Amino acid sequence: MKPPLRIGLAGLGTVGIGTYKILTEHADLLSERCGRPLNVTAVSARDKAKDRGVDLRDVRWAESVHALARDPEVDVIAEMIGGADGDAFDLVRDALDNDKHVVTANKALIATHGIDLARRAEAKGLTLAFEAAVAGGIPIIKSLREGLGANKVSRIVGILNGTSNYILTTMEATRRSFEDVLAEAQQLGYAEADPTFDIDGTDAAHKLSILASIAFGSEVAFDKVRCEGIQKISPVDFQYAAEFGYRIKLLAIAEEGIGGILQSVHPTFVPAETPMADVDGVYNAVVVEGDAVGRTVYEGRGAGEGPTASAVVADVIDVARGLYQPVFQTPVGKLRPFQQANFDERRGKFYIRLAVMDRPGVIAQISRLLADENVSLESIIQKGTDANGAVSVVLMTHETSEKSIARALSGIEALDDVMQPSCMIRVMEF
């Protein structure tokens, strides 16, 4: 049997402790599968005295992440500190510079510094693996790099943030407000005290940019992801979605567009009869469309101790077996500079909800502004007047362009009889 693989764990929060549990509780099984033991030889965390529910008395503590990165008795670092910069970045950079393999669950780090870190790793023939950074326990990184490696991918669509998916699922089921359900999610531990990255789409954008790089062979371009969050969704939008035969999901989409790649995160009407529409609560799902394989669908838990730790250990197993491949599937030196497609030219159907004064001629004005931008309507719903004299007008368009909808809505919202900003949600047909 080969000598043990010596592992240094950095960060002993939920995922770090989950990783430690799997490595110790499944030690014999993992040793059989890898042909060598997987031993945790050192750990690093801010608070050594904290009770983490596991016995760490026999594990050596590194004084700092810098000491862990230089530890001669560590072969691979498993980084679960989090954050794009600070200790996490310093640890991973220093570990690679000190000839250590790195496994990380840190999507912000890879989305922000992945190309630089990949260059360091590939220059030395080291592994930099991050299965746990995207979609938790779903092996989507391995699927793209290995199982789908023969395909030219045309589109990736994902529900990549469990917090936002939980909020939307609960709003739909209970017809409660966004603010009310967010507060509940925070109480249950599904949302952070500061939930901004989850609800505004940033977390999903980090993950999408990583998937897009692997799928399309381009450099990671997190800063080129067009983001819209779920804060403006109202309970009534779920009612109208159901009437039209849809459900509302926060989708992360990367696809080929005119002149490059489109990356976007936004609320979306998804046909109710499709598998993506059935992904509820804190679950994640990813659809990958390839020229040879067609459409493939992946679903599972997108976060939590067990699923994320499972993905971390899967990468450690690859290191133990001596499996090596380029970080983003394509060698980093051959990744193409990211070319952003013109989002204004993207085409699709749109749902629009307006609150207008119940006066003669208002609908005619709205229709004329839409027609001026060559936007045709598939259907229109008008509900009764409320106590303020406002009526809800809901429109479903035929396929049109982003720029046409934007221009039309700009004109509509400028009308005196339109009482508040519109709610516009894109529609995706699978």
Average the pLDDT over 205-229 and give the result: 97
- Measure the CA–CA gap between 273 and 70, rounded to whole angstroms: 53
**Domains within the chain, CATH numbers bracketed:** 5-137+308-328 (3.40.50.720), 140-301 (3.30.360.10), 346-427 (3.30.70.260)
Q: What is the pLDDT of residue 387?
A: 59
Count Cβ atoms below 10 Å from residue 190 Cβ, excluding itself: 22
Rounded to the nearest integer, the mean pLDDT of the chain is 94
- pLDDT tens-digit map of 113-144: 999 999 999 999 999 999 999 999 999 999 99
Q: What pLDDT does residue 50 have?
A: 86
User: What was the pLDDT predicted at 424?
Assistant: 97
Sequence-ordered list of residues with C-beta below 8 angstroms from that of 141, at least 6 positions apart, any chain: 130, 131, 133, 134, 210, 211, 214
Q: From CA 261, how far away is CA 12, in angstroms rounded?
A: 37
Chain centroid, CA 95 distance in Å: 26
pLDDT tens by residue, 49-75: 788 888 888 889 998 999 999 999 999
| CA proximity to 5, closest of 84, 104, 103 | 103
Burial of 292 (0-12, 13-18, 19+ CB in 10 A): exposed
Confidence tier at 189 by pLDDT (50, 70, 90): confident
pLDDT digits (tens, 9 = 90+) for 136-186: 999 999 999 999 999 999 999 999 999 999 999 999 999 999 999 999 999
Residue 207: active-site member: yes
Token pair, residue 233, equals 């969704």
Q: Fill in the DSSP letter of residue 219.
A: -
CA dihedral 254, 256, 258, 261 (to 10 degrees): 50
264 burial type by CB count under 10 A (0-12 exposed, 13-18 middle, 19+ buried) = buried
Residue 27: pLDDT above 80? yes
3-state secondary structure of 220: coil
Lowest mean pLDDT among 43-57, 295-309, 319-333: 43-57
Contact 376, 288 (CB under 8 A): no
Tens digit of each residue's pLDDT (9 = 90 or more) over 82-114: 999 999 999 999 999 999 999 999 999 999 999
Q: Which of 220-229, 274-283, 352-361, 381-390 has the lowest mean pLDDT?
A: 381-390
- H helices of 35-99, where? 65-70, 86-97
The single residue of 207, 224, 249, 349 carrying the catalytic annotation is 207
Q: How do residues 364-397 score in pLDDT, each as one tens digit?
A: 999 999 999 999 999 999 876 765 668 889 999 9
